[in-house]
Each structure stands twice: as C-alpha cells, then as structure tokens.
Chain A
Amino acid sequence: MTIPDTSEKWASSINEVTIGATAEDGGTRTSTVTLGGAKALPFLSFEGSPGRPTAIAVEIWDGGAEAWPDQLKDAYGDVLSSPGEWAKKAVEFGAEMICLRLMSAHPDAGDRSPEQCAETVKEVLQAVGVPLIVWGCGVDEKDNETLPAVSAAAKGENCLLGTAREKNYRTLVAVCQADKHKLLAESPLDINIAKQVNILCTDAGFPLEDMVVFPTTGALGYGIEYVYSIQERGRLAGLGGDKLLAQPVLCDVGYEAWRAKEAKAPPFACVTDETRNEWGIMWEAATAAVLLQSGVELLVLRHPKAIEYIKQTLARFTQAAPA
C-alpha cells in the first residue's frame, strides 16, 4: 500500500527583503541580509522551500543600558555606554544585523535631539559592517522628528527603520521612501490591524515588497501562545496568497524575554546560585525557539549564550533529514 502524499501545497510565498547595501549598491556595508522567501510553513522543507534562514539581529541601546539585568551587563562588560563598541561586540557574538534602539530620544529618558540620534547611527555604521535596524523611541511626535534625521544620516545604507504604526505612519513612510530604506510596520497583536497597517503604508506609496512586519512579541509565560497563533494565522494567509500578509516577520525576543521576572530574578524554590544566571538566557532562547515554529524571519536577541543556543537550534531544525 502506498501512502498518499498529504503535503500542503501553497499558492504563494513570503516576500524576500534585503537589508543593507554594500559599496556596489551605494552603501558601506560589508554584508547584507536577505529575509524571507519561504514557500512553506517553517521547517517543513518537504512541502516547499523554507526560504532564507532566520536572521539574528542583536539589540543595542544608545543609552540607558544601566537598567539592564546583571546577566546581560556581565556578558557585554563596559561597552554598554558606547553604541559603536557595543555593536562591535555584538557582531563578535554572532550578530548578522544590529538593532539600534534610540531609547534616549524618549522625552522621559534623555530627550536627545534628532541630530544627536543621527550621530549615534553614524557611529554604529562606522563601527560595524553588518546591516542596521533603527528603532524609534515609540513616542509619535518625537519619532517623527528623530527618524527623518536618522534616515538622512543613513541614506544609501538600506537600513530597516521602525516603526510605522496604525496611528503614525506617514512621516516614516515618506522618509524611508525618499532615502530608500526598508520599513518596519508594527501592529498590536492583531492580525487585522497588521494587515491594515500594511494597507495604510502602501496607500501612502510604500512598496509592500520593501516591508518587514513586527506583530508585537510576548515572552514565554506572557501571552506567547497568543503571539504564536497570530503569527501563524498571518503566515497561513501569506502563503495562501494574501499579498498584504506576505511580509517577513520580526520578533523582538530579547526585549520581551528580559522583562520577565523569571528571567531577571527567578522566583522559584528550585533556583540555585549555580543556575540563577541561566534562567534569563533560557527564557530568551525558549521564547525564540517557540516563536520560530510560527514562521519568523528576523529575531532580535540580547544574550550571547541565547544567540548561541538559537543558532544551534536553527542548525538542528534545518539539517537535512537522514536519507
């Protein structure tokens, strides 16, 4: 008896988006990263091409990292006060991209000027050769001042700039279009709004093919099942032919995982001095490993050991099955 072929056949694929520009393309990056291309659900390579491997970006801040948990501070040492040095260290730890978060642009966290933010971006671009993600501080009015300056400073580098949101997308769309950057579109754990933001950005003239989406991430124990199902629904729709949900997905794992008390100071009886520092790493790695199953093109991580674990996991998942 022959077993019938029950594999799913998908109508469409996830868009391929390249971040970074080498000298050839008018930038100064020494490497670029291409995301997407999947023609099947993650790791089901027998159903279709899995596309590009999930890329790992490492998160750095332009200030305020003093507040980071000790486990992270210990791992990075004294580079945390210098974005350029920090970025170099992150690349040593395996970062394929740097995710620079402009925390100190926030009016309550330093309120650095757009010009100062642009200087930081230049500093990071000079320090490393990998592509750059630049993330605003999340305050609409401030981002609308900061991101245009950042975009101009990084012109030609084909960065990924974020985030465009349902309520604030026009400015970022305009500058990304003018300076030829890729756009990161954010939605609040809602598949409808995810699609709506994409529609709004395309209505404002931005090409769908140049977008990456951030559907909001939740850590293990903090709604990860919900995140998972939202991302999976988006992926099913995208593979099923919905062009407005066929963008590569970014997961902000480090930021979310390290907010969990279980990561910073695990409140369990079984925690010993030996294992205490492992919890955060494992929380970050576990969050990432779970979300990978829903289809993720770009993971933003923090701890070098978590990066290592995830790279191993990815290698194992994508290994050719024994003949």
Chain B
Amino acid sequence: MTARHCNILFKPDGAGVDVPAGTTILAAAAKAGVFVNSLCGGDGVCGRCRVIVREGKVSGGSTEPFTHSEIQEGYILACEGRVESDLVVELPLETQLAKAPEYAGEEVPELTDVSRAARRKVPFAPLVRKTYLQLPPPDLNNNVSDLQRLELALGKRVATEGFQMGLKVTRRLPEVLRKSDWAVTAVTGFRGPLTEIIDVEAGDTSQRNMCIAADIGTTTVVCHLVDLRHGQTLGQAAKYNSQAAYGADVIRRIVHASENADKGDALRQAVIGDLNELIHELVTRYRLGRRDITLIAASGNTAMLHLLLSLPAESIRKEPYIGAAYRLPPFRAAEMGLQINPRGLLYCLPCVAGFVGADIVGGIYASGLAQSEEIRMLIDIGTNGEIVIGNRDFLVCASASAGPAFEGAECRCGMRATRGAIDHIRLADPQHVLSFSTISSAPPLGLSGTGYVDLVAEMLRIGVIDKTGRIDGSLSGDCVRHGDYGELEYMLIPADRAGGDRDILITQSDVNNILRAKGAVYAAASVLLKSLDMGFNDLAEIMVAGAFGNFLNLENAIFIGLLPDIPIQKLRFVGNTSLAGAKLAALSQTAYEDIFAVADRTTYFELSTDPSFMDQFVSACFFPHTHIELFPTVMAELAGKRSS
C-alpha cells in the first residue's frame, strides 16, 4: 500500500507540491523549492520557520513559541507540523524576509582604499575588550585585595592610566573569582585615560565579544554586527525608523517630543524598539546571546541622538539651533533600554551643531576626508543632506533638508534598499521598460533611492518628463495615466509581473520629491563652495555617501543634477560612512578619539542665514539645473538624442 499523498500550496509564492502524509511542512517546502527560513535546520529550536496553515489539517507542533492569537490564526513551526491533508500554507513576511539576509548598505570596498590613500593606520583596540586572566590565588605573602589582584593582572594586558569599577561588580567580585578558581574574563570599557572594568565573568568568555555599530538615521536605522575579536563584520540588518509615525522630519519629531514627557518617551521607545528589534534579529541569525554584545557604537544626526538619549531637543529646532550636548561619555546601554549585555556600554559619536550630527562627523573620519591632503568634498545624502568640504587643514560643513525620497521613503512605491527593491532600471520608450534589476534578484516590490535616481534620469532621457519634472500628459496610455486623486503617474511594472499586489509606478509627487531633494543637496554644495570662493572643479574628489544601498549610478546622478557635472573619475560612491565611522570607533580607541578631534575642528556653515541659498535651491529644482551650462555633458547627451 502506498502512502497517501497530499497537495501543499505555498503562498505567496504560489508553488505547489505533492508529498506523502506525515511529511513535515519544512521538508515539503524544500521539495517545492520554497525557502522557509530555519537556522536550526529542523530541530524545533530556532523558532524561525513560522508559517501559517490557512487550509487543511496538520499534526504535531509545539505551541510554545506563539501567542494565543497566533495559534488561533494557524501559526506553526514548519519543522514540527506534519502534513495530514491537502494544505494551503502561508509564509508570513518575517519568514520570507529571512530568506536572504536583508541588505543594509555595507560600506563599499573603496572606502578602505581611501583609508589607505590617507596612509592612515588605525590601530586595532576595541572600545570594549574582553581579557581572559588566570590570577594567582592569594596567600599570606600575596595578600592584596581581590580588586587589586585583578587590576595588577589586567594592567599588564590593557594599557591604561588607571581602572574604575562600579559598586555592583565589586560586590560580586570575590564570589566570581573564587567560584571560577581565579580564572576569569575581565570586560573593560574605554573611558579616555581611565578604563572601566565593566564586568568580570567566570571562565573564558573572550571568544564571545560582539559589538553593534548603529547608524540611526531619520528615516533608516542600520545595525552591523561586528566581532570585536578581530573586527570582522558578521552581518547587518536595517529597518525604517519607527519614529516616522511621529513625523517624517526631525523638526516634527522634536515638536512632538517636546510636548510632554510621555510623548518624548514615546519617541525614545520607538527608536530603542527598532534597535532592539535589529539586535534581536542579528543575535538570532548568528545564534548569539544578548550577553555576547558588550558594546553599541551609535552614529546619527544630532536630533536622533538626543531623542535616543531622551535629551531635550526642543532648542535644536529654534534659532540659534542649540543642542543639549554634542560630546557624550559612554553610558550603560541598559539604562536606555537597549537589550544587550546589561553591563554593556553605549558610545555615541560626537556632534558639531544642531544640524551637523555624529553621522557626518563619523563620515568625515571614515571617508578619510579629515586626513586628505587635497581638498575634497563629502556629500552625505540622507533625510538631511550634509556637505563637507575640507582636507587635513580645515573642514567646513553645511546641512540642507532633502527629505527621505533618496531612502525610498515617502514615495508611493519607495522602499529601502532591501530584497526586491529595484536598484537599476532602463527604459526603452515611454511604453516599455528595457531592463531592470532588483536586490537579491527577487521579484520587484518597489523602488529604492538608487532606483529612483535611475528612473527619473531615464524618464528625462526619453521625454516622459520635461526638465521641470512634469509628466507629459499627452503620452496618456497604459503607462502614463491619471491615478487616484487625478494625479499623473507613470506605471513601470504591472501588478501581475511585480512581486507584490500593486503596480510599480512613480507619481508626479514622487518626481517632485526627488526634484526637491536633489535641488537641496546640489544647492547646499554650491553655496558652501561659493562661501569658500571655490567651484566644483577645484575639488580633487567628491565622495558620495548615503543610504542608497551598495550602488549608485553616478552618471544618472549627474544626469538629474544631484551631483555636479565633473569628470566621473572624480566622483566616488562611498556607501554608508556614518555607519563606517561608528564601526571604526568601536574597533579602535584611537579612531574614537580622532573622531572627537574631527568634531572639534569642523566648522558649521549655517545655510539658512545665507541669502543666496533659496535662489540656488530654486535654480537647482530643475533637471539637471536651471543653469544648464553647468551640465555640459548632460546637455550634449540630450541634444544628441533630439537630433537623432
């Protein structure tokens, strides 16, 4: 007698498979070619392979990992549930998302070249270290205190001018030393000239010392998990900042946070929640414990760091834009509610001004700008666009609000540079997409910031929009059409060919958002250069940083006028330098101190008081620019197109 076969349909992929009754859902999925995330490989341990049984009967499966409502909904671990009848199984988003690790904007390889070019040696000495010590047991001749015994042994291993230890750890110290037979691991944190012994763990735990480097952006929060033993990045995770519910820009969030203590706390909770979620994701993915993470190095703009630490941010938004504190010592991460080792430390990179934050300071350091001999420019394109011009002798910085469009937010089909995001697109004609690619080659779900740069450039090339960004209504048809509220939109990929359930399109407002965002960035760069009596051609190089993912089509960025029309070899995309700065700080005490020195010597240039900014902004709100003579190669290309 042959085993009874059941048909299993997996949603949303739509793949089906026949398996004998009694097969686990996980095995059925593997047979169907549907990837269900599972770290433990089917031991029912990791709890990652959560699926929902929509129709049909299954047996087995523990209810432990699920809430009551999830059980009601049909949640089950795929590795435990056994097929009893025909099934319809849905993979919830978290189970699919885990399919490929989310792309989080790794710093690009060239960044290391910059460091090399600057002939910079960053000595490896993490801010938090673990040192395994085998202490000589005390006797009547060697009768120093337990603490002194520890300090003497540690002093030989950790260069320092002195130690400090908190009362809690000191109280536990005698017991830990004796129970572990004098073999302990000292966890030490860098506090300038002093070193804090933040914890003493029994036995040798020095193999498990991890750090989270975090870039807390207005729109996107990115975390990297770094092994502090050797500085290798293990993985990354990212998500949109949940504070967005309280306003897309920092001003609205500050206003909200300043209303009362509860509201201020809500904003802190939101970002702490995001960080904890990302930490949890990374810890789970790499099968670590929270205790293994002893350090968080955080970078972000001034307002974000204020909200993270519950510092009053109200005066940042009011002239003369003063923050509560720009240079902060390390804090106990648990005090902020961050779920890492309860004794672990949170190091915040320093800020310069109300609108020049740690993100750009970290970027100046990580990009090598602060050590550069020639004068370079760093453009960090985030929700606020920051521009820095300088070299090892001077650094000036300006900031302009660009909006979150380049991070894929606040646009109809915008998304982070993550799985399924279109990051490259070419159009054949107004009716046809020639080619596109998505991150992880997944079915297209939406457009990343890079995708928008490409798309707008292509629309301009083939005449779907004019130089003001207006969609040409006379092209009306399947692609150019009036959407909801009568707004013109340009449809790229219909829902039936997309990975989601909606058409992928760009609306007139989206184009306008991109136009304003690129206008703000270009105008800020122009005004800052002008204030130095320089032009773009006086720069040895322009480095472009930002949350674009690992890729930005520089030609197209020039084509839409986001970047100046200078020889392409003088432009370089350097990725997320804010994060890179945080990571360098975490890995090197020297880097951490150097970053503070960078903050000290960065001069802030206030654009809002510069009468020419508004004029420059309006003239930059045109593709590529009102002064088209500034973009000779773009003009030549457009002229060539017209005559051909």
Using CB atoms and an 8 Å cutoff, list the residues of chain A in contact with chain B: 166-167, 170, 190, 192-193, 195-196, 199-200, 203, 242, 244
A-B contact pairs, 23 of them (CB 8 A): A167-B468, A167-B470, A170-B472, A170-B474, A190-B618, A192-B615, A192-B618, A192-B619, A192-B622, A192-B626, A193-B618, A195-B619, A195-B626, A196-B468, A199-B467, A199-B622, A199-B626, A199-B628, A200-B466, A200-B467, A200-B468, A203-B466, A242-B629
Complex interface bits, B436-466 against A, C-beta within 8 A gives 1, otherwise 0: 0000000000000000000000000000001
CA distance A190 to B617 in the complex (A): 12
CA distance A255 to B177 in the complex (A): 94
Residues of A within 8 A of B474 (CB): 170
CA distance A244 to B474 in the complex (A): 26
A203 touching B467 by the CB < 8 A rule?
yes
CB distance from A237 to the nearest CB of B (A): 9
Residues of B within 8 A of A200 (CB): 466-468
Residues of A within 8 A of B638 (CB): 203
Complex interface bits, B621-644 against A, C-beta within 8 A gives 1, otherwise 0: 110001111000000001000100
Residues of B within 8 A of A192 (CB): 615, 618-619, 621-622, 626
A-B contact count (CB 8 A): 34
Residues of B within 8 A of A193 (CB): 618
Q: Which of the listed residues A166, A190, A195, A196 has the most CB atoms from chain B within 10 Å of its own CB?
A: A196
Complex interface bits, B469-509 against A, C-beta within 8 A gives 1, otherwise 0: 01010100000000000000000000000000000000000
Residues of A within 8 A of B619 (CB): 192, 195
Residues of B within 8 A of A196 (CB): 467-468, 622, 626
CA distance A203 to B466 in the complex (A): 8
Given contacts A195-B626, A199-B628, 6 further A-B contacts (CB under 8 A): A190-B618, A192-B622, A195-B619, A203-B466, A203-B638, A244-B628
CB distance from A245 to the nearest CB of B (A): 10
Closest B residue, CB atoms, query A205: B642
CB distance from B167 to the nearest CB of A (A): 64
CB distance from A193 to the nearest CB of B (A): 7
Residues of A within 8 A of B626 (CB): 192, 195-196, 199
Residues of B within 8 A of A167 (CB): 468, 470
The 5 A-B pairs of least Cβ separation, nearest first, read A192-B619, A192-B618, A192-B626, A195-B626, A196-B622
CA distance A244 to B470 in the complex (A): 20
CA distance A203 to B467 in the complex (A): 9
Residues of B within 8 A of A244 (CB): 628
Residues of B within 8 A of A203 (CB): 466-467, 638, 642
Residues of B within 8 A of A170 (CB): 472, 474
CA distance A192 to B615 in the complex (A): 8
Residues of A within 8 A of B627 (CB): 195, 242
CA distance A199 to B470 in the complex (A): 14
CB distance from A62 to the nearest CB of B (A): 29
Closest A residue, CB atoms, query B473: A170
CA distance A249 to B622 in the complex (A): 23
CA distance A203 to B472 in the complex (A): 13
Residues of A within 8 A of B466 (CB): 200, 203
CA distance A299 to B378 in the complex (A): 49
Closest B residue, CB atoms, query A195: B626
Residues of A within 8 A of B468 (CB): 166-167, 196, 200
CB distance from A139 to the nearest CB of B (A): 16
Complex interface bits, B589-630 against A, C-beta within 8 A gives 1, otherwise 0: 000000000000000000000000001001101100011110
CA distance A203 to B628 in the complex (A): 12
Residues of A within 8 A of B642 (CB): 203
Residues of A within 8 A of B628 (CB): 199, 244
Residues of A within 8 A of B622 (CB): 192, 196, 199
CA distance A108 to B629 in the complex (A): 42
Closest B residue, CB atoms, query A197: B468
Closest A residue, CB atoms, query B618: A192
Closest B residue, CB atoms, query A167: B470
Residues of B within 8 A of A195 (CB): 619, 626-627
CA distance A193 to B621 in the complex (A): 10
CA distance A166 to B621 in the complex (A): 13
Residues of B within 8 A of A190 (CB): 618
CA distance A166 to B619 in the complex (A): 14
CA distance A184 to B466 in the complex (A): 19
CA distance A196 to B642 in the complex (A): 18
Closest A residue, CB atoms, query B470: A167
CA distance A167 to B468 in the complex (A): 9
Residues of A within 8 A of B615 (CB): 192
CA distance A244 to B621 in the complex (A): 17
CB distance from B127 to the nearest CB of A (A): 49
CA distance A190 to B615 in the complex (A): 9
Q: Which of the listed residues A192, A200, A242, A244 has the most CB atoms from chain B within 10 Å of its own CB?
A: A192
Residues of A within 8 A of B467 (CB): 196, 199-200, 203
Closest B residue, CB atoms, query A190: B618
CA distance A146 to B638 in the complex (A): 32
CA distance A316 to B622 in the complex (A): 42
CA distance A244 to B625 in the complex (A): 13
Closest B residue, CB atoms, query A170: B474
Closest A residue, CB atoms, query B472: A170
CB distance from B614 to the nearest CB of A (A): 10
CA distance A167 to B472 in the complex (A): 10
CB distance from A162 to the nearest CB of B (A): 19
Closest B residue, CB atoms, query A194: B626
CA distance A173 to B480 in the complex (A): 22
CA distance A244 to B619 in the complex (A): 13
CA distance A170 to B472 in the complex (A): 10
Closest B residue, CB atoms, query A169: B466
CB distance from A65 to the nearest CB of B (A): 35
CA distance A166 to B622 in the complex (A): 11
Residues of A within 8 A of B621 (CB): 192
Residues of A within 8 A of B472 (CB): 170
CA distance A242 to B627 in the complex (A): 9
CB distance from A104 to the nearest CB of B (A): 27
CA distance A28 to B127 in the complex (A): 88
CA distance A135 to B527 in the complex (A): 39
CA distance A190 to B614 in the complex (A): 12
CB distance from B110 to the nearest CB of A (A): 36
CA distance A196 to B622 in the complex (A): 7
CA distance A69 to B357 in the complex (A): 60
CA distance A196 to B628 in the complex (A): 9
CA distance A38 to B67 in the complex (A): 81
Q: Which of the listed residues B472, B627, B642 has the most CB atoms from chain A within 10 Å of its own CB?
A: B627
CA distance A170 to B621 in the complex (A): 20
Closest A residue, CB atoms, query B635: A199
CA distance A195 to B622 in the complex (A): 10
CA distance A45 to B618 in the complex (A): 34
CA distance A244 to B618 in the complex (A): 16
Closest A residue, CB atoms, query B617: A192
CB distance from B295 to the nearest CB of A (A): 49
Closest A residue, CB atoms, query B621: A192
CA distance A170 to B619 in the complex (A): 21
CA distance A200 to B642 in the complex (A): 13
CB distance from B17 to the nearest CB of A (A): 55
CA distance A238 to B23 in the complex (A): 80
CB distance from B576 to the nearest CB of A (A): 33
CB distance from A317 to the nearest CB of B (A): 31
